[in-house]
């Protein structure tokens, strides 16, 4: 996995900052929204939010490989920071594809520099049945009514790109404030208190209830055909594997740390085997990403790679907990935090096909 010299320099700066600034407070970042927001500002100073943004919008425009390696390293040092920043990265990626030139001109430079952050709310499009958030075309844009069941970044993000479904099935994407709000014409947004999650509570995940909220044309980000979410999920099945690989790497770091305290051969052997498997998985994912996903056989392979990376994250975290022993049951222990992060990355962005691939992997082992 080769990257340009300039990209390696960026990656090195980010890694140094993660080790010196994030590692000492990783547990705090999991629970403290203020500390997490401060860490987001640190990422902004390093240019992380401009990594995929073209120079015309004040970005660095690095390669997909370099961007993936940065995602892996952030996750390796803090799952909460990785999860929150990836929401912001998703919003930037959507705005980059928008046809709303005025919205791009106003916000892409600010988003790429981390002056403001946006989140995303479109995972509900995967849910079967009647759309949870519906859109009706009106004179000046679209009125949104319904619920966004999962929005991350309340208190840190000033806005989110929300997806709603039109009567004909198309998906409308528009910018909405990520806060309680009321429009002069009567439209409202009501944000729930943050969820009490098992991990990453600092990311301030909430539910949003919208009633007649007008997304005017200037705030329109995109309009996609019916079934867009299925196509998007198919194209991006490997996108989050860099997060799961980073989570596995965090466990490997924890095991290496405790190996120094418990220099036992079987711990060293476990570390060696898991490290090699993580590297093998990383290389296969990277090679697969260089190919087109239109091939059904390739899509099946990528589902298996996604399941493998998740399995690795969970097994590596379980190994770390095993080595730490009873102390890992302490809520504030690093191994406990990483174990919970593996849970989060297991279900994040999960689709029925991904779930099936994970379950097949989990149930295909030989029992002795």
DSSP per residue over 182-248, as a string? E-TTS-EEEEPPPP--SS-GGG--EEEEEEEEEEEGGGEEEEE-TTHHHHHHHHTTTTTHHHHHHHH
Q: Given a cut of 80, is residue 1 above it in pLDDT?
A: no
- The pLDDT score that the predictor gives to residue 366 is 55
Q: Please compute the mean of the pLDDT values over residues 348-362 and round it to a whole number.
A: 95
CATH 1.20.140.10 occupies which residues in the chain?
236-363
The Cα–Cα gap between 250 and 72 comes to 10
Pair 165, 174: CB distance under 8 Å? no
**What does 132-184 look like in DSSP terms, one character per residue?**
SEEEEEETTEEEEEEEEEEE--TTT-SEEEEEEE-TTS-EEEEEEESS-EE-T
The Cα–Cα gap between 185 and 178 comes to 19
The Cα–Cα gap between 224 and 333 comes to 44
The Cα–Cα gap between 214 and 167 comes to 16
- The pLDDT score that the predictor gives to residue 293 is 65
Q: Given a cut of 80, is residue 292 above it in pLDDT?
A: no
Q: Please compute the mean of the pLDDT values over residues 284-291 and round it to a whole number.
A: 92
- The pLDDT score that the predictor gives to residue 123 is 95
Q: What is the mean pLDDT of the chain?
A: 96
Give the pLDDT confidence of 103-150 residue by residue, as tens digits: 999 999 999 999 999 999 999 999 999 999 999 999 999 999 999 999
Pair 202, 36: CB distance under 8 Å? yes
pLDDT band with cut points at 50, 70 and 90 for residue 199: very high
End-to-end Cα, the chain, rounded Å = 37
CATH 1.10.230.10 fits 5-116, yes or no: no
Percent share of the chain, pLDDT over 70: 99
Count CB-CB contacts under 10 A for residue 200: 26
Pair 77, 247: CB distance under 8 Å? no
CATH 2.40.110.10 occupies which residues in the chain?
119-225
- Provide the Cα torsion 351, 355, 357, 361; round to 10°: 160
121 in helix, strand or coil? Answer: strand
Which tokens is 143 given? 């009125």
CATH homologous superfamily for the domain 236-363? Butyryl-CoA Dehydrogenase, subunit A, domain 3 (1.20.140.10)
Q: Given a cut of 50, is residue 165 above it in pLDDT?
A: yes
pTM for this entry: 0.96
Q: Given a cut of 60, is residue 367 above it in pLDDT?
A: no
Q: Given a cut of 90, is residue 297 above it in pLDDT?
A: no
Percent share of the chain, pLDDT over 90: 95
| Assigned CATH class of 119-225 | mainly beta
Q: Given a cut of 70, is residue 72 above it in pLDDT?
A: yes
The Cα–Cα gap between 226 and 203 comes to 30
Q: For residue 227, how many C-alpha atoms fall within 13 Å in the half-sphere facing its CB? A: 2
Q: Please compute the mean of the pLDDT values over residues 259-273 and round it to a whole number.
A: 96
Q: Given a cut of 80, is residue 50 above it in pLDDT?
A: yes
Which tokens is 229 given? 């979410």
- The pLDDT score that the predictor gives to residue 368 is 47
Radius of gyration over alpha carbons of the chain, in Å?
21
- The pLDDT score that the predictor gives to residue 290 is 87
């Amino acid at each position: 996995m080769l990257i340009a010299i300039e990209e390696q320099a960026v990656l090195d700066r980010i890694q140094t900052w993660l080790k010196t600034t994030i590692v000492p407070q990783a547990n705090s970042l999991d629970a403290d929204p203020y500390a997490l927001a401060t860490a987001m500002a640190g990422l902004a100073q390093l240019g992380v939010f401009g990594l995929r943004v073209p120079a015309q919008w004040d970005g660095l425009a690095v390669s997909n490989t370099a961007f993936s390696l940065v995602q892996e390293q952030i996750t390796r040092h803090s799952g909460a920071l990785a999860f929150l920043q990836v929401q912001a990265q998703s919003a930037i990626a959507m705005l980059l594809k928008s046809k709303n030139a005025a919205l791009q001109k106003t916000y892409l430079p600010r988003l790429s520099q981390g002056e403001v952050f946006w989140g995303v709310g479109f995972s509900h499009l995967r849910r079967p049945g009647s759309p949870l958030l519906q859109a009706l075309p009106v004179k000046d844009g679209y009125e949104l009514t319904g619920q966004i069941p999962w929005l991350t970044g309340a208190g840190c993000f000033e806005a989110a790109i929300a997806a709603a479904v039109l009567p004909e099935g198309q998906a409308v994407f528009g910018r909405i404030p990520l806060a309680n709000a009321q429009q002069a014409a009567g439209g409202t947004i009501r944000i729930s208190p943050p969820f009490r999650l098992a991990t990453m509570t600092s990311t301030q995940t909430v539910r949003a209830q919208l009633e007649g909220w007008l997304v005017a044309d200037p705030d329109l980000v995109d309009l996609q055909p019916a079934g867009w979410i299925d196509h998007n999920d198919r194209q991006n099945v490997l996108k989050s594997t860099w997060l799961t690989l980073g989570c596995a790497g965090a466990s490997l770091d924890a095991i290496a740390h405790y190996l120094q305290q418990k220099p036992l051969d079987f711990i060293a052997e476990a570390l060696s085997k898991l490290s090699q498997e993580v590297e093998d998985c990383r290389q296969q994912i990277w090679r697969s990403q260089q190919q087109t996903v239109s091939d059904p056989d390739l899509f099946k392979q990528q589902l298996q790679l996604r399941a493998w990376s998740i399995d690795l994250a969970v097994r590596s975290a379980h190994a770390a907990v095993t080595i730490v022993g009873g102390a890992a049951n302490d809520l504030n222990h690093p191994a406990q935090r990483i174990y919970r992060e593996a849970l989060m990355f297991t279900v994040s962005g999960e689709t029925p096909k991904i779930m099936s691939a994970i379950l097949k992997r989990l149930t295909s082992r030989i029992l002795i």
